[in-house]
Amino acid sequence: MPDLRDEFETYLFEYRFNGATWIVEIKATSPEEARIRARQPLSYVGEVQTKIATASIWARLKRLMGVQSK
């Protein structure tokens, strides 16, 4: 079964707040979908403490290199 997370890309959007420009990341299948997702109501869930590379990165690299999964 394919991992649906591999179908998503990270899109960047900028906005201005208090005189500064900020960037937000949104995971989606297209920039258009990311814009729709950005308009949805938000709920605070916490802070990012660290980011760790996972297997999905390796799957994406394999796909870019043309390596077939078994």
More confident residue, 64 or 5: 64
Is residue 21 in a domain?
Answer: yes
Number of domains in the chain: 1
When pLDDT is cut at 50, 70 and 90, the band that residue 34 belongs to is: very high
Is residue 14 in a domain?
Answer: yes
pLDDT at 5 over 80: no
Structure confidence at residue 20 (pLDDT): 95
Report helix, strand or coil for 13: strand
In this structure, the number of other CB atoms found within 10 A of the CB of residue 34 comes to 20
Output the six-digit token pair for 13.
Answer: 């959007």
When pLDDT is cut at 50, 70 and 90, the band that residue 24 belongs to is: very high
Structure confidence at residue 19 (pLDDT): 96
Is residue 70 in a domain?
Answer: no
Write out the residue range of the structural domain in which residue 20 sits. 4-65
Is residue 54 in a domain?
Answer: yes
What share of the chain has pLDDT > 90, as a percent? 59
